[in-house]
C-alpha cells in the first residue's frame, strides 16, 4: 500500500520499542512511525519520537496514559507532545460504554478487579463512568471483570458463576466456568471480509494507519511537521490524539475462547 504510493516502508522487525523509536527518530527521511502495538512500548518509543516531532500512530494501545494525563490510570503518562495518534478507544472509553450499556438495561454490576495497576485503574475508570454496582452476588445482574489471565481475580470471578461476565481485554484463556455467558468488551469491531485474527493482532488497525499516512503524503506532506498536520487534518482525532467515536464491541466467547462479534456498545 505504501510502496505503491511512493512511500518507502522500513520494518523494525525484532528491535525493542525504545530502539525502534530511536532509529526512526534519527532517520531524517522518516515521516511517521506506525506502532508499537502495546501501550507500554508506545510510552518507550515516544521518548525518542516526540522530541523529534515524529508522528506515532498507535494501532492497539489502550492505556489512557498514552494520550491523556487527566484520567484514572494516567500516572507517568507518555510525554508525547501531541505527536501520538491513537487508532482505537482507550480503556476509559471502554469503561464508559460498559457503564452506559448496563445503565440502559437497568442492570447492576459486581466488579471484580485485580490488585495490580491494570485492575485498579479500570476499577477507577468504571467508578468515574458511573457504573451501577453492588457488592452482593444476590443483587448483581452481571460480573464486570477487570483483570488478567493467571491472576487471583480470575478465581474470584469463576466463583460467581453462573452470573454472566463482561470482561475487559486481558482475561482471554482464563477458566471462568463452563457453559457460562462470557463477553469481552473490546475496542475492536468486526469488518466485512477481514479475518478476526487480523483485528486482534492489530494488523487491520496498522493497515488503516498506513492508509492515513499514504493519504497525507498524497496531499503533499513531505516533512514531519507537514505529516503530523496532515494526519490531524483528516479529522479523525481530538486534541489529545484520541479518535472521535471509536468502536467498542461486545464479543461472545465460547468455552474454547473463540470470539464472535455480538453488538456494538
Give tens-digit pLDDT for 116-149: 999 999 999 999 999 999 999 999 999 999 999 9
Is 120 within the bounds of a domain? yes
Average pLDDT over residues 59-80: 94
At 1 the pLDDT is 83
Point out the domain boundary residue: 186, 202, 224.
Answer: 186
Q: Are residues 19 and 103 in the same domain?
A: no
pLDDT at 179: 87
55 and 105 in a single domain? The answer is no
One domain, residues 73 and 99: no
Residue 178: per-residue pLDDT: 87
Nearest-angstrom CA–CA distance, 33 and 227: 11
User: Is there a single domain that holds both residue 103 and residue 154?
Assistant: yes
Domain boundary among 162, 186, 210: 186
Residue 258 lies in a domain: no
Please indicate, yes or no, whether residues 99 and 84 belong to a single structural domain of this protein: no
Identify whether 249 is part of a domain.
no
* 79 and 204 inside one domain: yes
In this structure, are 8 and 85 located in the same domain?
yes
Domain that holds residue 158: 92-186
Residue 92 and residue 128 in contact, taking contact as beta carbons nearer than 8 Å:
yes
- Beta-bridge partner residues of 263: 250
b/e map of 38-47 (b: 16 or more CB within 10 Å)? Answer: bbebbbbbbb
Write out pLDDT tens, residues 26-42: 999 999 999 999 999 99
Give the side-chain half-sphere CA count within 13 A for 195.
Answer: 5
d(CA 218, CA 237): 19
- Would you state the cell numbers that stand for residue 167, as one nine-digit string? 470482561
CATH of the domain at 49: 3.40.50.2300
Q: Is the dihedral of CA 30, 31, 37, 42 positive or negative?
A: positive
Confidence of residue 12 (pLDDT cuts 50, 70, 90): confident
Same structural domain for residues 154 and 199?
no
Per-residue model confidence (pLDDT) at position 230: 97
Do 100 and 180 belong to one domain? yes
Q: How many structural domains does the chain have?
A: 2
Q: Is residue 238 part of a domain?
A: no
Q: H helices then E strands: how many in the chain?
A: 8, 9
- Does a structural domain hold residue 250? no
Q: Say if residue 140 is in the same domain as residue 14.
A: no
Q: How far apart are CA 147 and CA 192, in angstroms?
A: 30
Together in a domain, 81 and 97? no
Q: Where are the beta strands (DSSP E) in the chain?
A: 32-34, 55-58, 84-86, 109-113, 142-146, 165-167, 182-186, 249-253, 259-264
The mean pLDDT of 109-122, rounded to a whole number, is: 97
Residues 6+ apart with CB under 8 A from 168: 91, 94, 95, 122, 145, 146, 147, 184, 185
Q: What percent of the chain has pLDDT over 90?
A: 89
Residues sharing a CB contact under 8 Å with residue 256, sequence separation 6 or more, in sequence order:
none
**Do 154 and 209 fall into the same domain?**
no
Q: Is residue 126 part of a domain?
A: yes
pLDDT at position 62 is 97
Is 263 within the bounds of a domain? no
Pick the closest to residue 182 from 163, 198, 196, 200 (CA basis): 163
pTM: 0.94
Which phi and psi angles does 237 have, rounded to 5°?
A: -115, 155
In a domain, 103, yes or no: yes
Amino acid at each position: 500500500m505504501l510502496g505503491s504510493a511512493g512511500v518507502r516502508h522500513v520494518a523494525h522487525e525484532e528491535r525493542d520499542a525504545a530502539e525502534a523509536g530511536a532509529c526512526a527518530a534519527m532517520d531524517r527521511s522518516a515521516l511517521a512511525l506506525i506502532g508499537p502495538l502495546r501501550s507500554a512500548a508506545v510510552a518507550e518509543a515516544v521518548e525518542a519520537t516526540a522530541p523529534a516531532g515524529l508522528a506515532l500512530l498507535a494501532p492497539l494501545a489502550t492505556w489512557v496514559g498514552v494520550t491523556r494525563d487527566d484520567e484514572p490510570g494516567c500516572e507517568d503518562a507518555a510525554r508525547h507532545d501531541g505527536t501520538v495518534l491513537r487508532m482505537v478507544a482507550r480503556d476509559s472509553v471502554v469503561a464508559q460504554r460498559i457503564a452506559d450499556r448496563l445503565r440502559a438495561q437497568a442492570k447492576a454490576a459486581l466488579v471484580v478487579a485485580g490488585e495490580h495497576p491494570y485492575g485498579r485503574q479500570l476499577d477507577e475508570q468504571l467508578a468515574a463512568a458511573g457504573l451501577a454496582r453492588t457488592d452482593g452476588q444476590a443483587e448483581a445482574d452481571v460480573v464486570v471483570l477487570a483483570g488478567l489471565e493467571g491472576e487471583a481475580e480470575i478465581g474470584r470471578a469463576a466463583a460467581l458463576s453462573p452470573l454472566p461476565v463482561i470482561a475487559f481485554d486481558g482475561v482471554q484463556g482464563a477458566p471462568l466456568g463452563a457453559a457460562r455467558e462470557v463477553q469481552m468488551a473490546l475496542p475492536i469491531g468486526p469488518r466485512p471480509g477481514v479475518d478476526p485474527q487480523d483485528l486482534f493482532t492489530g494488523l487491520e488497525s496498522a493497515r488503516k494507519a498506513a492508509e492515513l499516512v499514504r493519504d497525507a503524503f498524497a496531499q503533499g506532506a513531505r516533512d514531519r511537521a507537514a505529516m503530523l498536520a496532515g494526519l490531524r487534518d483528516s479529522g479523525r482525532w481530538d486534541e489529545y490524539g484520541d479518535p472521535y467515536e471509536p468502536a467498542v464491541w461486545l464479543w461472545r466467547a465460547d468455552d474454547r475462547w473463540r470470539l464472535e462479534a455480538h453488538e456494538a456498545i
